[in-house]
């Protein structure tokens, strides 16, 4: 069913079994941690991935419903598993979180839980945003301002949005018991103060931990290759790369834009095995781009740092900000991001 | 007032042999005199120490004087006014001096408290009485209840009421029981309406409130009060306490600075210190809501959290959710739950271990040794997984050599590592998250940042076989070792020695669960430790007594007896061979040897099937002599390296033809 295969290995190898597990008293946790624990290896292996295609599950997703997820800049965080989170209590979570936010914003003034406040927090499930059936349901949190005037009935405007999801998170799901809900990818849009409040509440309530998810140049180049490889009916944006050169007094940014069809053509020439993307292909793709640049401008881009990649599918910045432009490959993009998030947790 | 001050300055607490243990004090002698001569007597008294016998008389006389004074107050004021003031003053002074010197007995407090609040005497007298209402040992709950009943009558003036509440707050810990007082909660709560009393009543309620007292209507009342009076620190404190007990009713941000109540204790402060000393109690700690530290963080923390290690907070929303219909069992268990914050001593932990409410963020256990005890013995997987995730993420985020601009936070990270190491020392075991952190961070470490803490983390590395750990930890350490100062070299050696000690200690605790493989490791480590001792020429704290070696040899003999010579359970072993006869196993002697052992039987059969396929029946007892040696080779080839090592090192056998 899922045409998107889980990548075979991440750049770490599993630890050899430890003596402790042979003892009669080895706890299930130790056995589980064994699968989680990975050692740094000195030789990076070559991962292979499938090109993101439409997953069958996504047919269930109503494009209208997910339209609000597109064309928005999301800040990424990785999230450790939530303890004793329940999808049946979403209404209560809304109540408590609203009271919490209002109480924190007006320092020192207590707020009764459940009373009418000037903001409202809504929890809702996002159906269909998952890779396999095993993945937990994604859910969305929104802060809305509520108008106090009785004459206006409609909901106020959305002040902040955040959503939690897990796409193909099998490697993490295997390591936790039923008390935990694994939603390792968190995306937030809105004021940083609100993100802080929501995050603090979740951390206190479900004993989880948010970490900003940074994307390094290695992963950015993978994204560039994978997204360029995606078949598109029409292109909505140029393919653009941004490199940063640290120099004084101000860093130098080099922006390199290519026509998306040219990029696709380049990729097709590099790409060999159908349905798979290998490290060599990615490296070759980037080398071609860099050498082309060098031919014209005599600048070695490999000596600089890739900080941003932008294609018609999505764009990503190294500081963990992304924007998804195409709903057809939404799951594919999220799957890769989930993988990065899980990598950061483990 | 002046007499009292002199009392304080000349106090030399010395326990006497008398049963009522009056402190040696000159004023006992002083009270013998008529109070009209009080000034001259006091000057006299300070000069020379008093004999015990004289002091005994003095004490008795003081006691009598006190009784007279108390009777006087009880009876109430006389109608005649001429001598009234002088007698009143005399008796007041008596009471005050005894109170400040030794404290008043519960019965005396009972009477005097009622006198003070009943308004029989003027407010000046009431004030003086309350100010000297210092207990000798404790205060009876009934006295307080009676006193409170006087408040309803309205006989005493406002300032007396204020003083009474301040007195309640200061003396709270000395009231013997508080159940009846708690039943009067509603009355105290209603007193909040009085603006003058409000701060003090808040403070008193802060001490008195239990979870059962927190009700929605009270929450609403407090919020109305807050709306009326604004952001008052005492209201904020009480609201925070209500939130602590029931976060589903109310939400309030925690106060940034320490909770601020007007200090009610200072009127009685020195006397209280003396009372506590008398009762040999440690200074009590009031229930503190966990607040952030007072010091300002050098850098802005992520999401404005106060500290790296989460604050201990047991009351969590997640427990309250979904409790639409509470079952009886829920109700009972909820009422009996003992929260982590209340945990103050080890006996308390033992009594309440079955109903302990754990913190909502497991990271908080790092700062609490009692909770560390708990997670150590109750090996709950969820708890450990929560702690694992929090600790590994925090270490990863805070590690200062991962990111260039993190170097300013070295002090903070060092303190954090210190806390972790303290916890590991306490548990005598390393954390799994630290192991993962070491694997990831050691390649990036410069050998300089947080050196002592980092190397200590290495010494708590969990037990593993040397070959696994070598490439990732020891090789990297070796690289740093060879290129560093002599001080670094010594630190590394020191910590590796501690690592070895920890491993040995860990093994010696687990000795009954040993497998063969492990025992050879034990042997290796023992001999290595011995060599290590010689090399370092240092007297190790961990002295291997001959008893340890004896024990080791005993186990060795037992194992060889089981596996090899088919002579298990010689004298001195734990099992009585009769047991086997009882359960019907006749041939127990060979039942645990290399061939017949349940774990190895399958190997024996495979060996026979492989090497002697022509034989019709598979008879494992036929493995002896030449076949035994072949069988041994087969076992070694199947990967039982530990067994090989054990046999080669512990058993010398001549090949039997």
Query: B518: which chain A residues are within 8 Å (Cβ-Cβ)?
Result: 19, 22-23
**A82, β-bridge pairs:** A181
pLDDT at B91 exceeding the cut of 50: yes
CB-closest option in B220, B322, B393 to A80: B393
Cβ contact B379–A113 (<8 Å): no
User: Chain B contact for A207, CB < 8 A?
Assistant: yes
CB-closest option in A37, A92, A109 to B231: A109
Average pLDDT of span B562-588:
64
Burial status of residue B217 (CB atoms within 10 A of its CB: 0-12, 13-18, 19 or more): exposed
Q: What is the average pLDDT value for chain B, to the nearest integer? A: 74
Q: List the domain range (segments joined by +) for residue A299.
A: 215-318
Cβ contact B432–A109 (<8 Å): no
Rounded CA Rg of chain B: 37
- Is the separation of the CB atoms in A81 and A197 below 8 Å? no
How confident is the model over A106-141, as pLDDT tens digits? 877 888 887 778 889 999 998 888 888 889 999 999
Q: Which of A212, A246, A266 corresponds to the end of one domain?
A: A212
Residue B469 exposure: Cα atoms within 13 Å on the Cβ side: 21
Cβ contact B386–A20 (<8 Å): no
Confidence of residue B525 (pLDDT cuts 50, 70, 90): low
Angle, in degrees to the nearest 10, between helices B123-131 and B84-102: 20
CB-closest option in A84, A108, A203 to B253: A108
Q: What is the pLDDT of residue A219?
A: 93
User: Chain B contact for A110, CB < 8 A?
Assistant: yes
pLDDT at A340 exceeding the cut of 70: yes
Cβ contact A207–B305 (<8 Å): no
User: Chain B contact for A27, CB < 8 A?
Assistant: yes
**A331, β-bridge pairs:** none
- Do A263 and A285 fall into the same domain? yes
* Cβ-based neighbour number of residue A321 at 10 Å: 17
For residue B205, give how far its alpha carbon lies from the nearest alpha carbon of chain A (Å).
Answer: 17
Q: What is the pLDDT of residue B282?
A: 57
- Do A295 and A205 fall into the same domain? no
CB-closest option in B253, B361, B390 to A104: B253
Q: Which residues contact B216 (CB under 8 A, 6 or more apart)?
A: B249
Q: Which of A212, A227, A255 corresponds to the end of one domain?
A: A212
Instruction: Tell me, yes or no, if the pTM score tops 0.80.
Output: no
Q: What is the pLDDT of residue B572?
A: 55
How confident is the model over A276-330, as pLDDT tens digits? 888 889 999 999 999 999 999 998 888 889 999 999 999 999 999 999 998 888 8
Q: Helix (H, G, I), strand (E, B), or coil: what is residue B249?
A: coil
> What does the DSSP 8-state code read for residue B264?
-
Q: Which residue would you say has higher pLDDT here, A71 or B336?
A: A71
Which of A177-186, B512-521, B579-588 is predicted with the least confidence, judged by mean pLDDT? Answer: B512-521
Q: Which residues contact B287 (CB under 8 A, 6 or more apart)?
A: B207, B241, B341, B342
Q: Which of A196, A212, A228 corresponds to the end of one domain?
A: A212
Domain count, chain A: 2
Cβ contact A108–B255 (<8 Å): yes
Q: What is the pLDDT of residue A309?
A: 95
Q: Where are the alpha helices (DSSP H) in B353-485?
A: 369-377, 381-398, 410-427, 432-441, 451-459, 466-469, 475-482
Q: Helix (H, G, I), strand (E, B), or coil: what is residue A239?
A: strand
Q: What is the CA B615 to chain-centroid distance, rounded?
A: 68
- Do A155 and A270 fall into the same domain? no
Question: In three state form, how does the secondary structure of B488-539 look?
Answer: HHHHHHHHHHHHHHHHHHHHHHCHHHCCHHHHHHHHHHHHHHHHHHHHHCCC
Residue A298 falls inside a structural domain:
yes
- Is the separation of the CB atoms in B319 and B374 below 8 Å? no
- Do A123 and A255 fall into the same domain? no
Question: In three state form, how does the secondary structure of B276-297 look?
Answer: HHHHCCCCCCCCCCCCCCCCCC
- Do A125 and A178 fall into the same domain? yes
User: Chain B contact for A179, CB < 8 A?
Assistant: yes
Would you state the structure tokens that stand for residue B438, as one six-digit string?
A: 């070491």
d(CA A246, CA A304): 8
- Do A141 and A71 fall into the same domain? yes
- Do A139 and A245 fall into the same domain? no
Convert B430-463 to b/e letters by CB count within 10 Å (16 or more is b): bbbbbbbbbbbbbeebebebbbebbbbbbbbbbb
Q: Which residue would you say has higher pLDDT here, B521 or B48?
A: B521
d(CA B437, CA B442): 8
CB-closest option in A81, A180, A199 to B303: A199
- Do A155 and A227 fall into the same domain? no
* Percentage of chain A lying above the pLDDT 70 cut: 80
Query: B360: which chain A residues are within 8 Å (Cβ-Cβ)?
Result: 204-205, 207
Residue B426 exposure: Cα atoms within 13 Å on the Cβ side: 19
Residue A22 falls inside a structural domain:
no
Which of A109-118, B160-169, B447-456 is predicted with the least confidence, judged by mean pLDDT? Answer: A109-118
Q: What is the pLDDT of residue B628?
A: 84
d(CA A325, CA A134): 27
Range B4-13, long-range pairs (CB < 8 A, 24+ positions): B4/B96, B4/B97, B4/B100, B4/B132, B6/B42, B6/B46, B7/B97, B7/B100, B7/B101, B8/B100, B8/B270, B10/B46, B11/B101, B11/B274, B13/B274, B13/B277
Choose among B7, B644, B507, B65: nearest CA to B271: B7
Q: What is the pLDDT of residue B323?
A: 46
Residue B544 exposure: Cα atoms within 13 Å on the Cβ side: 19
Average pLDDT of span B441-456:
87
Q: Which residues contact A284 (CB under 8 A, 6 or more apart)?
A: A270
Nearest-CA residue of chain B relative to A28?
Answer: B381
Confidence of residue B564 (pLDDT cuts 50, 70, 90): confident
Q: What is the pLDDT of residue A307?
A: 94
d(CA B315, CA B339): 8
Q: What is the pLDDT of residue A73?
A: 95
Q: What is the pLDDT of residue A106?
A: 83
Residue B561 exposure: Cα atoms within 13 Å on the Cβ side: 15
Q: Helix (H, G, I), strand (E, B), or coil: what is residue A94?
A: helix
Q: Report CA-CA distances (Å) from B367 to B28, B351, B363, B411, B424.
A: 49, 21, 8, 18, 12
- Is the separation of the CB atoms in B116 and B124 below 8 Å? no
Q: What is the CA B163 to chain-centroid distance, rounded?
A: 35
Average pLDDT of span A99-111:
85
- Give the length of chain B: 657
How confident is the model over B387-417, as pLDDT tens digits? 999 999 999 888 877 766 556 678 888 889 9
Q: What is the pLDDT of residue A195?
A: 94
Peptide bond into B404 cis (omega under 30): no
Residue A330 falls inside a structural domain:
no
Q: What is the pLDDT of residue B521?
A: 56
Q: What one-character-per-residue DSSP string does B598-651 give?
A: TTTHHHHHHHHHHH-TT-SS--GGG--THHHHHHHHHHHHTT-HHHHHHHHHH-
- Do A74 and A148 fall into the same domain? yes
- Do A108 and A189 fall into the same domain? yes
* Percentage of chain B lying above the pLDDT 70 cut: 69
Would you state the structure tokens that stand for residue A330, as one six-digit string?
A: 């939404």
Q: What is the pLDDT of residue A13?
A: 26
Q: What is the pLDDT of residue B17?
A: 39
Q: What is the CA B42 to chain-centroid distance, rounded?
A: 48
Q: What are phi and psi of B589, to 5 degrees?
A: -65, -40
Query: A180: which chain B residues are within 8 Å (Cβ-Cβ)?
Result: 382, 385
Q: What is the pLDDT of residue A324?
A: 93
Average pLDDT of span B22-37:
40
**Sole residue written with tokens 């596996």:** B563
Query: B218: which chain A residues are within 8 Å (Cβ-Cβ)?
Result: none
CB-closest option in B248, B361, B379 to A204: B361
Residue A170 falls inside a structural domain:
yes
Query: B252: which chain A residues are within 8 Å (Cβ-Cβ)?
Result: 103, 108-111
How confident is the model over B600-645, as pLDDT tens digits? 788 888 888 888 888 777 787 888 888 888 888 888 888 777 777 7
pLDDT at B301 exceeding the cut of 50: yes
Residue A323 falls inside a structural domain:
no
Query: B439: which chain A residues are within 8 Å (Cβ-Cβ)?
Result: 37, 39-40
Query: A102: which chain B residues are within 8 Å (Cβ-Cβ)?
Result: 251
- Do A145 and A79 fall into the same domain? yes
- Do A157 and A146 fall into the same domain? yes
């Amino acid at each position: 069913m899922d045409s998107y295969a889980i990548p075979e290995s991440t750049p770490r190898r599993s630890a050899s079994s430890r003596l402790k597990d042979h003892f009669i008293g080895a706890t299930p946790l130790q056995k589980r941690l064994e699968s989680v624990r990975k050692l740094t290896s000195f030789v990076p292996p070559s991962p292979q991935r499938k090109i993101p295609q439409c997953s069958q599950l996504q047919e269930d997703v109503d494009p209208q419903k997910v339209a609000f997820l597109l064309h928005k800049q999301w800040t990424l965080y990785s999230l450790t598993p939530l303890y004793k989170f329940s999808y049946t209590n979403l209404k209560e979570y809304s109540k408590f979180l609203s009271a919490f936010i209002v109480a924190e914003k007006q320092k020192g003034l207590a707020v009764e839980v459940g009373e009418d406040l000037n903001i409202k927090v809504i929890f809702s499930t996002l159906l269909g945003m998952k890779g396999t059936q095993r993945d937990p349901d994604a859910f969305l949190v929104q802060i809305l301002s509520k108008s106090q005037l009785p004459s206006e009935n409609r909901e106020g405007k959305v002040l902040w949005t955040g959503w939690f999801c897990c796409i193909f998170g099998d490697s993490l799901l295997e390591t936790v018991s039923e008390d935990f809900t694994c939603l390792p990818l968190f995306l937030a849009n809105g004021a940083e103060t609100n993100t802080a409040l929501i995050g603090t509440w979740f951390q206190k309530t479900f004993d989880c931990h948010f970490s900003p998810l940074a994307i390094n140049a290695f992963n950015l180049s993978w994204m560039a290759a994978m997204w360029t490889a995606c078949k598109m009916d029409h292109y909505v944006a140029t393919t653009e790369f941004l490199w940063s050169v640290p120099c004084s007094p101000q860093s130098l940014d080099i922006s390199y834009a290519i026509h998306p069809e040219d990029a696709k053509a380049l990729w097709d020439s590099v790409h060999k095995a159908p349905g798979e993307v290998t490290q060599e292909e990615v490296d070759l793709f980037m080398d071609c781009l860099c050498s082309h640049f060098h031919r014209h401008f005599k600048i070695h881009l490999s000596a600089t740092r890739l900080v941003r990649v932008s294609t018609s599918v999505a764009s990503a910045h190294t500081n963990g900000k992304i924007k998804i432009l195409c709903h057809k490959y939404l799951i594919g993009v999220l799957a890769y991001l989930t993988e990065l998030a899980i990598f950061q947790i483990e | 007032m002046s007499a009292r001050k002199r009392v304080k300055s000349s106090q030399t607490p010395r326990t006497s042999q008398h049963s009522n243990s009056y402190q040696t004090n000159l004023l006992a002698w002083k009270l013998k005199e008529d109070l009209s001569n009080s000034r001259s007597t006091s000057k006299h008294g300070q000069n020379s120490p008093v004999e015990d016998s004289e002091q005994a008389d003095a004490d008795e006389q003081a006691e009598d004087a006190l009784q007279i004074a108390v009777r006087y107050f009880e009876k109430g004021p006389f109608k005649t006014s001429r001598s009234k003031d002088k007698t009143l003053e005399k008796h007041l002074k008596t009471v005050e001096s005894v109170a400040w010197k030794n404290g008043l007995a519960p019965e005396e407090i009972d009477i005097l408290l009622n006198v003070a609040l009943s308004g029989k005497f003027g407010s000046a007298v009431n004030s003086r009485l309350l100010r000297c209402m210092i207990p000798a040992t404790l205060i009876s709950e009934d006295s307080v209840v009676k006193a409170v009943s006087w408040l309803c009558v309205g006989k005493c003036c406002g300032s007396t009421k204020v003083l009474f509440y301040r007195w309640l707050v200061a003396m709270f810990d000395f009231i013997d029981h508080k159940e009846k007082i708690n039943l009067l909660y509603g009355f105290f709560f209603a007193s909040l309406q009085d603006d003058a009393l409000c701060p003090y009543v808040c403070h008193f309620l802060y001490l008195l409130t239990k979870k059962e007292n927190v009700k929605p209507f009270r929450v609403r009342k407090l919020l109305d009060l807050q709306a009326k009076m604004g952001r008052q620190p005492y209201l904020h404190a009480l609201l925070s306490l209500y939130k602590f007990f029931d976060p589903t009713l109310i939400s309030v941000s925690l106060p940034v600075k320490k909770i601020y109540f007007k200090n009610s204790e200072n009127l009685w402060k020195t006397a209280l210190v003396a009372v506590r000393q008398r009762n040999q109690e440690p200074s009590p700690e009031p229930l503190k809501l966990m607040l952030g530290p007072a010091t300002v963080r050098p850098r802005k923390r992520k999401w404005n959290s106060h500290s790296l290690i989460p604050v201990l907070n047991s009351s969590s929303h997640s427990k309250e959710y979904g409790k639409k219909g509470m079952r009886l069992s829920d109700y009972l268990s909820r009422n009996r739950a003992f929260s982590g914050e209340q945990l103050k001593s080890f006996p308390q932990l033992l009594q309440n271990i079955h109903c302990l409410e754990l913190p909502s963020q497991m990271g908080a256990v790092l700062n609490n040794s009692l909770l560390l005890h708990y997670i150590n013995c109750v090996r709950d997987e969820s708890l450990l997984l929560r702690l694992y995730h929090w600790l590994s993420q925090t270490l990863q985020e805070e590690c200062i050599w991962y990111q260039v601009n993190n170097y300013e936070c070295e002090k903070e990270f060092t303190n954090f590592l210190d806390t972790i190491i303290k916890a590991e020392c306490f548990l005598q075991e390393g954390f799994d998250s630290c192991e993962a952190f070491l694997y990831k961070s050691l390649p990036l470490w410069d050998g300089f940042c947080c050196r002592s803490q980092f190397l200590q983390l290495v010494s708590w590395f969990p037990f593993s076989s040397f070959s696994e750990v070598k490439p990732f930890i020891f090789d990297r350490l070796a690289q740093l070792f060879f290129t560093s100062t002599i001080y670094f070299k010594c630190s590394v050696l020191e910590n590796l020695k501690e690592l070895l000690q920890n491993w040995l200690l860990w093994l010696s605790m687990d000795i009954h669960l040993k497998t063969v493989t492990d025992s050879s490791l034990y042997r290796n480590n023992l001999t290595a430790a011995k060599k290590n001792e010689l090399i370092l020429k240092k007297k190790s704290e961990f002295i291997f007594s001959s008893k340890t070696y004896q024990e080791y040899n005993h186990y060795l003999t037992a194992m060889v007896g089981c596996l090899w010579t088919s002579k298990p359970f010689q004298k001195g072993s734990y099992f009585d061979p009769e047991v086997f006869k009882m359960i019907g196993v006749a041939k127990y002697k060979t039942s645990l040897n290399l061939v017949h052992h349940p774990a190895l039987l399958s190997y024996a059969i495979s060996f026979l099937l492989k090497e002697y396929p022509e034989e019709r029946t598979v008879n494992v007892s036929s493995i002896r002599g030449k076949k035994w040696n072949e069988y041994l080779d087969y076992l070694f080839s199947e990967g039982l390296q530990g067994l090989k090592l054990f046999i080669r090192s512990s058993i010398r056998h001549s090949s039997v033809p």
